[in-house]
Chains A and B, each alone.
Chain A
Amino acid sequence: MKIINLDYAAAAPVDPAVLEVMLPYFTDHFGNPSSGHQLGRKPVEAIEEARVKVAHLIGADARDIIFTSSASEANNLAIKGLVEAKKKKGNHIIASSIEHFSVLNPLKTLQKDGFEVTLLPVDQYGLVDPEKLAEAITDKTILVSIQAANPEIGTIQQLDRLAAVARQREVVFHTDAAAAAGWIPLAVDNPGVDLLTIAGDQFYGPKGAAALYVRRGVRLVPQVEGGIQERGMRAGTENVAAIVGFGEAARLATESLAERAEKTALIRDRLKESLFREIPHLHLNGHPEKRLPRNLNVAVEFVEGEALLMRLEMTGIYVSSGSSCASQALKSSHVLKAIGLPPEKAQGSLQLTLGHDSSLEDIPYITEQLAQVAELLRNMSPLYHKFIKEGQ
């Protein structure tokens, strides 16, 4: 059976060209970058080279890049590190209500420690209103954290306007760009963000390497203490091979960003058209235009997402779902709730993310299979039977 992966945001294979560059750092150049002798030299050089490549992808200076193990760690460092450094100035933090859990959960912890947190609402497409941000800022606000794009529904924020609001009020602005980096152009000086999270595994780098950009002059308290790696901002022996791969993936993404985005968005748009043409009662989640090139998110009305996911897997198609049953915690997506999607639609939401081997040729098969699965599950759905009877 042919496998069609439509869950590339969850994980993607490492680009073979990236892997090739990484391999010597597991064996020949195994040295510890902190060593005083010869064995540490090559790894140090390689890390610094990777730092330049990563910085280049986001228009930053290499000296302002701190490597971490994951975007989650970078988000934790940005948030906890910043508020700890600024707690004398104020205790108020603002974020959007559709942030990743690696932003929301640290905020919950900080709330217990006495910080005040405002979660800004989003509109039906997932956009934060810059005016609402302006209204929420007080003289106690020390940090604003708003993602560049949402990993689940793909909505791209108006980062320039949001960052401008924060800058005007002299509040540090962090953006979690894990889902956006490598897929849409990002430059830290335009829109003027102070902290930015980026992860290599979102654009064909290996898992285990990510970074936080920290604007010069913004002080953070390190969250992993120990040695003086990463200028003392993040202790621990560097994951050299992964960092090297992250750098190379960033270089390739910088080189081919426009082409990659355009090609992927074209397939995504055709897939969307095909699904909406052939399958009744679908609802598009997220913004119709301002969305990540590889992201499609649809609610299949009257059915539940995990059942859809399982049925699609039997046909060789891998997707993910925002339904509560599809999550370990049995909670439906906070993002779909925030955009005001009714629970029954949220339960039937599918997240489709394309990747390097997505093809126009697969669209008819995907459409046919999803149409069949939706029909089969609708035929056993009490909600669908009610709809047919009552027409509502």
Chain B
Amino acid sequence: MPEYSEKVMEHFTKPRNIGEVAEPDGIGEVGNPVCGDMMKFTIKVKDNRIEDVKYLTFGCGAAIAVSSMVSEMAKGKTLEEALKITNKQVAEELGGLPGNKMHCSNLGADALHKAIEDYMEKEKKKSAV
């Protein structure tokens, strides 16, 4: 097993914001079981801010910790701010990740961004009608 930082272990042990928000405004799914990790982020948006965010994750310790950290970082942020959350920032906030687990941090921010883009797509369609 890789050496995980205290922060990773803390988020792995007590992951925050697990689940799916009711009637989500945006959904972002990444990964597949072949590569070993899957994440599904659901968000609730109010006044251009992420009012609520939850996730479901199939994956290793790092993947779970990353999902939890991303959800905490995203909550309350404007969509623009949340879109700026980078994989690097997530890894840093977690006190680093073992080299061969860096790809997990990529998935977290990607899933969040997909959920936001999904919301924006829907909004665009709404305003076009």
Interface residues of A (CB under 8 A from B): 302-307, 309-310, 313-314, 323-326, 328, 330, 332, 342-344, 347, 379-383, 385
Contact call B61/A306, Cβ cutoff below 8 A:
yes
Chain A hits for B57, CB < 8 A: 380-382
How far, in whole Å, are A105 and B25 apart by their CA atoms in the complex?
50
B36 near A325: Cβ-Cβ < 8 Å: yes
A330 touches B39 (CB 8 A): no
A127 to B94, CA, bound (A): 44
Q: Are B56 and A381 in contact (CB under 8 A)?
A: yes
**A381 contacts which chain B residues (CB < 8 A)?**
56-58
Instruction: Tell yes or no: B13 within 8 A of A by CB.
Output: yes
Query: Looking at the complex, which one of A313, A328, A332 makes contact with B36 (CB distance below 8 Å)?
Result: A332
What are the residues of chain B within 8 A of A379 when measuring CB–CB?
18
Q: A380-B57, A382-B57 are in contact. List 19 more A-B contacts (CB 8 A).
A: A304-B58, A304-B60, A305-B60, A307-B61, A309-B1, A310-B12, A313-B1, A328-B100, A330-B36, A343-B33, A343-B34, A379-B18, A380-B19, A380-B56, A382-B38, A382-B39, A382-B56, A382-B58, A383-B38
B72 within 8 A of A: no
Q: Which residues of A contact B34 (CB under 8 A)?
A: 343
B44 vs chain A, min Cβ distance (A)? 18
Task: Evaluate contact between A303 and B36: CB separation under 8 angstroms.
Answer: no
**Bound Cα distance A343, B64 (Å):** 19
Pick the contact of A307: B33, B38, B55, B59 (CB < 8 A). B59
Give CA–CA (A379, B19) in the complex, Å.
Answer: 8
Asked whether A326 lies within 8 Å of B60 as measured between CB atoms, the reply is yes
8 contacts between A and B (CB under 8 A): A305-B60, A307-B63, A307-B64, A310-B61, A325-B36, A325-B63, A326-B1, A383-B38
Chain A residues closer than 8 Å to B40, beta-carbon distance: 382
Query: Is B15 positioned at the interface, with any CB of A under 8 Å from its CB?
Result: yes
Minimum C-beta distance from A306 to chain B (A):
4
Give Cα A307 to B64, complex, Å.
8
Q: Do residues B56 and A347 form an inter-chain contact, with CB atoms below 8 A?
A: no
Interface size for B (C-beta < 8 A) is 29
Beta-carbon contact of A383 and B33 below 8 Å? yes
Interface residues of B (CB under 8 A from A): 1, 12-13, 15, 18-20, 29, 32-40, 55-64, 100-101
The smallest beta-carbon distance between A281 and chain B, in angstroms, is: 14
Contacts of B58 in A (CB 8 A): 302-304, 344, 347, 381-383
A314 to B1 Cα, complex, angstroms: 13
- Bound together, the chains give a CA A93 to CA B64 distance in angstroms of 44
Q: Which residue of A lies closest to B104 (CB)?
A: A325
A166: shortest Cβ distance to chain B, in Å?
A: 36
Known A343-B33, A379-B18; judge A314-B61 contact (CB<8 A): no
Closest to B13 in A: A314
CB distance from B45 to the nearest CB of A (A): 21
In this complex, the member of A304, A314, A343 whose beta carbon has the largest number of chain B beta carbons within 10 angstroms is A304
**How long is the Cα–Cα vector from A314 to B57 in the complex, in angstroms?**
20
Other-chain residue from A326, A332, A342, A380 in contact with B15 (beta carbon distance below 8 A): A380
Closest to A310 in B: B61
- Chain B residue numbers with a CB within 8 Å of A385 are 20, 56
Q: Report the separation of the CA atoms of residues A330 and B36 in the bound assembly, to the nearest whole angstrom.
A: 9
Q: In the assembled complex, which residues on chain B have CB atoms less than 8 Å from the CB atom of A332?
A: 36
| Chain A residues in 8 Å Cβ range of B13 | 314
Complex: chain B residue closest to A332, CB-CB: B36
Q: Tell me the complex Cα distance, A233–B83, Å.
A: 64
Judge whether A323 and B56 touch: CB under 8 Å.
no
CB atoms of A323 and B36 under 8 A apart: yes
Tell me, in angstroms, the Cα distance from A302 to B57 when the chains sit together. 10
Least Cβ–Cβ distance between A330 and chain B, in angstroms: 6
Which 7 pairs from chain A and chain B are nearest by CB? A325-B60, A344-B33, A306-B60, A382-B56, A324-B36, A382-B40, A343-B34
Provide the bound-state CA to CA distance between A342 and B34, in Å: 9
With a CB–CB cut-off of 8 A, which chain B residues contact A382?
29, 38-40, 56-58
User: Nearest-CB distance from B51 to chain A (Å)?
Assistant: 21
Instruction: Report the bound CA distance from A304 to B61 in whole Å.
Output: 9
With a cutoff of 8 Å between Cβ atoms, the chain B residues found around residue A302 in the complex are: 58
Find the residue from B13, B29, B61, B100 having the highest chain A CB count within 10 A. B61
Q: Which residue of B lies closest to A323 (CB)?
A: B36
Residues of B within 8 A of A347 (CB): 33, 36, 58
